[in-house]
Amino acid sequence: MDQISTYVLLLTLAVLLLFSGFFSISETAMMALDRYRLRHLVKQGNRAARLTASLLERTDRLLGVILLGNNIVNAAVALLVGEIARRQLGDSEMALLAATGAAAFCLLVFSEITPKVVGATYPERIALPASFLLAPMLRVAHPLILVLNLFVGAMLRVAGLKPGSGDRERLLTHEELRTLVLEAGHFIPKKHQSILLNLFDLERITVDDVMVPRNQIEAIDLDAEPQRIRNQIATCYHTRLPLFSGSLENVVGMLHVRTVLNLLQNEEISSGTLREIMREPYYIPEGTPLFTQLQNFQENQARVGLVVDEYGELKGLVTLEDIVEEIIGEFTTHSPIRAAGILQQPDGSWLVEGTSTLRELNRKLGLTLPLDGPKTLNGLILEHFQDIPEAGTSVKIAGYPMEIVQTQDRVVKVIRIFPSLEIGQ
């Protein structure tokens, strides 16, 4: 009879260890569950996900029922192991020591470490099914949990802590979203990943980074001869051109070339004709973030804007296409002035025009030139020397050896850039 009762005790011990393991694995899985994945499953109508989400809305109650059940079961395991040891070894100190060691071993291996490792490894597979057992347990034990949480809440308030004020549900920061996109490379196509990352950069990139510099703006002088105006319109590369009188500082309007093409064959084009069909110029303050300007273009139904500084002086020109290309990459053909800026040499170096923007060089050549200062390569070199260097001068900037090939009109016209000597070191 005693032998049978011992088997019953051992069977009961195994069941209690399973219960203890269930509470441990549920606790770890619930806390390790991806909240954004859970929300996605809830939106898809997953019943287990809805139940799990409702449990996680009150983490204090969920942890209360889990820990209450776990501690009751663990206490029962300790008593049961002690009774089994007493029956097998008698009422001795050795029996007590053996019971303590056996209880600790069983609880650690079968009820704590193993279940929690599994729960942390497969949180979704475990947390969702476990919610069907935890929910009714919570309803049954709700009064007791409520009383326990009153004491817990009082202790937390004495310690200056507010229950439920943790940051688990906080919004992701800008950089955390970037990290998520970068780590999701196996699930997001490379091109889509690049577009998402570029979208995150629109807030810190300004119109100054992508604008066409003032000296490269193609514009029409209304004071020029009619034939010259006619030839410029017939051979222009862009569809929208600024109109100025005397100097580029005096922009009087914007011309949509399509509206004047039919006049090239039938009528004489004059400055008066252009003034009748031109539109008011649209100005953009320098330093405007690209994302803000993208919205401004949409609200103002504009595609081209003139960038001006705080004194109203013209700095450059930016188009809607320039912003879109920052998001999805180059998709249009640039004018010859902007396209012929980089030429690779047989020795692996590049001949680059000084007016090339640093962002363009980094993107096309895979460089890491600094972007927190000057916008063009010419500006970067002038900032480094604090003077206009002579042709043949060599310099090393950001780890890249450079040689000044040509200077003209107080600017560095052509630079040779060599691959970084630090690569591979």
Same-domain pairing of 151 and 6: yes
Tens digit of each residue's pLDDT (9 = 90 or more) over 62-90: 888 888 888 888 888 888 877 777 777 66
Same-domain pairing of 217 and 324: yes
- Residue at 219 is within a domain: yes
Query: How far is it, in rounded angstroms, from Cα 377 to Cα 411?
Result: 10
pLDDT at 3 exceeding the cut of 70: no
Same-domain pairing of 118 and 28: yes
Report if pTM > 0.85. no
CB 197 within 8 A of CB 178: yes
Task: Indicate the pLDDT class of residue 169, thresholds 50, 70 and 90.
Answer: low
Same-domain pairing of 239 and 325: yes
Same-domain pairing of 307 and 233: yes
Dihedral of CA atoms 345, 348, 353, 357 in degrees, nearest 10, equals: 150
Query: How far is it, in rounded angstroms, from Cα 26 to Cα 145?
Result: 17
Same-domain pairing of 356 and 303: no
- Residue at 201 is within a domain: no
Q: What is the mean pLDDT of the chain?
A: 82
**Section 332-336 average pLDDT:** 53
Tens digit of each residue's pLDDT (9 = 90 or more) over 211-221: 888 888 889 88
Domain total in the chain: 3
- Residue at 173 is within a domain: no
| Residue 215 DSSP symbol | G
pLDDT at 230: 82
Same-domain pairing of 12 and 38: yes
Query: How far is it, in rounded angstroms, from Cα 54 to Cα 259?
Result: 61
Query: How far is it, in rounded angstroms, from Cα 123 to Cα 34?
Result: 8
Same-domain pairing of 97 and 245: no
**Range of 226's domain?**
207-331
- Which of 309, 331, 353 is where one domain is finished? 331
pLDDT at 170: 57
Query: How far is it, in rounded angstroms, from Cα 61 to Cα 322?
Result: 54
The candidate with the shortest Cα–Cα distance to 380, out of 407, 406, 398, 399, is 398
Tens digit of each residue's pLDDT (9 = 90 or more) over 347-393: 888 999 888 888 888 878 888 888 888 888 888 999 888 888 888 89
User: Which residue matches tokens 């031109």?
Assistant: 278
CB 192 within 8 A of CB 308: no
User: Does residue 216 come out as left (phi exceeding 0), alpha (psi in the -120 to 50 range) or beta?
Assistant: alpha
Same-domain pairing of 148 and 288: no
pLDDT at 152 exceeding the cut of 80: no
Query: How far is it, in rounded angstroms, from Cα 417 to Cα 26?
Result: 59
- Residue at 336 is within a domain: no
- Residue at 30 is within a domain: yes
- Residue at 236 is within a domain: yes
- Name which of 18-22, 41-45, 333-337, 403-407 the model is least confident about: 333-337
Return the SS3 of 24: helix
pLDDT at 12: 85
pLDDT at 165: 47
Task: Indicate the pLDDT class of residue 424, thresholds 50, 70 and 90.
Answer: very low
pLDDT at 275 exceeding the cut of 90: no
| Residues sharing a CB contact under 8 Å with residue 48, sequence separation 6 or more, in sequence order | 41, 128, 129, 131, 132
Residue type, 309: D
- Which of 269, 297, 331 is where one domain is finished? 331
- Residue at 172 is within a domain: no
Residue type, 108: L
- Which of 118, 138, 158 is where one domain is finished? 158
pLDDT at 274: 84
Same-domain pairing of 356 and 252: no
pLDDT at 296 exceeding the cut of 90: yes
Return the SS3 of 174: helix
Task: Indicate the pLDDT class of residue 1, thresholds 50, 70 and 90.
Answer: very low
pLDDT at 282: 93
Task: Indicate the pLDDT class of residue 171, thresholds 50, 70 and 90.
Answer: low
Backbone angles phi, psi at 252, to 5 degrees: -110, -15
Domain of 366, CATH number, reads 3.30.465.10
- Residue at 372 is within a domain: yes
Same-domain pairing of 320 and 357: no
Same-domain pairing of 305 and 370: no
pLDDT at 304 exceeding the cut of 90: yes
Tens digit of each residue's pLDDT (9 = 90 or more) over 256-274: 888 887 666 666 677 788 8
pLDDT at 257: 84
pLDDT at 243: 92
Task: Indicate the pLDDT class of residue 15, thresholds 50, 70 and 90.
Answer: confident
